[in-house]
Amino acid sequence: MPYELNAFGQPLGERLPNWTPPPLPSAQPLTGAYCRLEPLRADHAASLYQALGTPASAAGWTYLPYGPFATEAEFSHWLSSQCEQPDPFFYALLNPAGQALGLASYLRIAPQAGSIEVGHLHFASAMARTPMATEAMYLMMAQAFNWGYRRYEWKCNALNQPSRRAAGRLGFAFEGVFRQAIVNKGRNRDTAWFAVIDKDWPALQQAFLTWLAKENFAADGSQRRSLSSLTAPLLAQTDTGLLGAEG
């Protein structure tokens, strides 16, 4: 794209004459057909421990900066410390029966930059790879853009291949790896960066709505069209470069 030049012949970024910083996340639930997201409360702890604290769920803590927890009391103490925090702003993810089966949060919330991240994701095995999990991610993304954020980020340990695949499936464009970004649990972490920006959102939202539609699922619950088949063409059109590398 052509860039406006200043008096020195230097390219400048796009003007944003109507830009207004969005609000901070508000403590309101998000409700869809397959799930409900509630701002995290201490009384979610028992259900979440049953969903996430068992040995069968231990692998879900590997790339998180905390956990696993040895006892329900230890888990409840950690969860209580996260309730009502402004950043990260946690949600409990509930199925239609009201069981809390997962965690997710907004974090690195920067209204002045129009940037917000989704992370701290941990889904029970009963939730993983289901419409509930996808819809939860859709609801959070939709809310962020409805608030007026310009950039919605996904970051993960570069070694976490399932998370990287999930980001691509959900329509996040890969933007690179930050080497030696942090130390996590005494180990180096290179961080893979992904993002969706507001210009991507209208087409991506339609892809989500097409996938989540009831007619996309057969009587046995199997999908007729995969979300990846809907998001891959959009990612192919995404230009994550600016001026290109200089030699």
Q: Write out pLDDT tens, residues 3-24.
A: 899 999 999 999 999 999 999 9
Domain that holds residue 81: 29-236
For the stretch 64-122, pLDDT in tens is: 999 999 999 999 999 999 998 999 999 999 999 999 999 999 999 999 999 999 999 99
pTM of the model: 0.94
Domain contains 243: no
Residue 190 has pLDDT above 90, yes or no: yes
Cα separation, 130 vs 126, whole angstroms: 8
User: Crossing angle, helix 227-236 and helix 201-212, to 10 degrees?
Assistant: 170
Residue 84 pLDDT: 84
Residue 240 pLDDT: 58
CATH of the domain at 130: 3.40.630.30
Domain contains 188: yes
Residue 239 pLDDT: 64
Backbone angles phi, psi at 186, to 5 degrees: 80, 10
Domain contains 4: no
Cα separation, 124 vs 102, whole angstroms: 6
Domain contains 16: no
Residue 241 pLDDT: 47
Domain contains 213: yes
Domain contains 3: no
Q: What percentage of the chain carries pLDDT values higher than 90?
A: 89
Domain contains 170: yes
Domain contains 7: no
User: Burial, 130: exposed, middle or buried (Cβ in 10 Å; 0-12, 13-18, 19+)?
Assistant: middle
For the stretch 218-247, pLDDT in tens is: 999 999 999 999 999 999 988 654 434 343
Going by pLDDT thresholds of 50, 70 and 90, the confidence category of residue 209 is: very high
How many domains, in total, are found in the chain? 1
Q: What is the mean pLDDT of residues 46-71?
A: 92
